[in-house]
């Protein structure tokens, strides 16, 4: 069998495209008229997203950092890893991840690797997320970032990685970055982080 890999394709040409909604904040909605390979066309709505980064931070006790944040779309407090938008033009994803770890947890890390890349919901959005693994974590220098709105009160917890895996598998942690990042970190830890991509 050849290497298992998702690939881009031009088989579904875009016949027309228009932005049907502009939020002026994070997302827009684009409506595309798409040529189907067997003939004909179909209309597809796409939530256009700038992309994001997530950070699975591990300390020297094999604990993962999670923070609790209110997410209005699901009306829940979710435990999730530090994360943030790629909304600064030209910013490297690693730099964005380092910034988010500093802003949300006032931490910095000595070692960074790419843990996993993902599309959060490819049936409806182009949102792509790169989750990094941050190790040798220590308190950051400089002033603390002051959050606004949902970010004004985000409790932090260091959770044993095995407990976090169990919480993800049992459905107690439904945040996709938490589930994918925690499971990938657990697998990477079993392999002594040997096969991770450099950041």
**Strands, E assignment, 23-82:** 28-35, 41-48, 52-57, 63-71, 76-80
**Cα–Cα distance, 50 to 124 (Å, whole number):** 14
- Which entry of 100, 110, 127, 151 is annotated as an active-site residue? 151
Q: Which helix (H) or strand (E) holds 187?
A: helix 176-190
DSSP 94-109: HHHHHHHHHHHHSEEE
| 91 assigned to active site | no
Are residues 87 and 138 in contact, defined by beta-carbon separation less than 8 angstroms?
no
How is residue 82 annotated by DSSP?
Answer: -
How is residue 58 annotated by DSSP?
Answer: B
Q: Which residues are catalytic?
A: 151
């Amino acid at each position: 069998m050849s290497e298992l890999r998702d690939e881009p394709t031009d088989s579904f040409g875009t016949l027309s495209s228009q932005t049907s909604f502009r939020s002026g904040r994070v997302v827009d909605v684009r409506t595309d008229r798409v040529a189907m390979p067997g003939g004909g066309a179909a209309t597809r709505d796409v939530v256009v997203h700038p992309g994001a980064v997530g950070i699975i931070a591990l300390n020297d006790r094999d604990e993962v950092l999670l923070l609790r944040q209110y997410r209005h779309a699901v009306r829940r407090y979710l435990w999730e890893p530090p994360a943030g938008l790629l909304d600064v033009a030209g910013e490297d994803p690693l730099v964005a991840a380092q910034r988010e770890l500093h802003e949300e947890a006032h931490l910095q890390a000595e070692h960074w690797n790419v843990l996993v890349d993902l599309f959060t919901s490819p049936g409806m959005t182009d949102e792509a997320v790169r989750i990094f693994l941050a190790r040798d974590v220590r308190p950051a220098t400089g002033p603390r970032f002051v959050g606004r709105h949902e970010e004004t009160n985000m409790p932090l917890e260091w959770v044993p990685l095995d407990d976090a895996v169990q919480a993800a598998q049992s459905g107690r942690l439904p945040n996709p970055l938490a589930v994918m990042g925690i499971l990938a970190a657990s697998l990477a830890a079993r392999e002594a982080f040997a096969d991770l991509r450099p950041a």
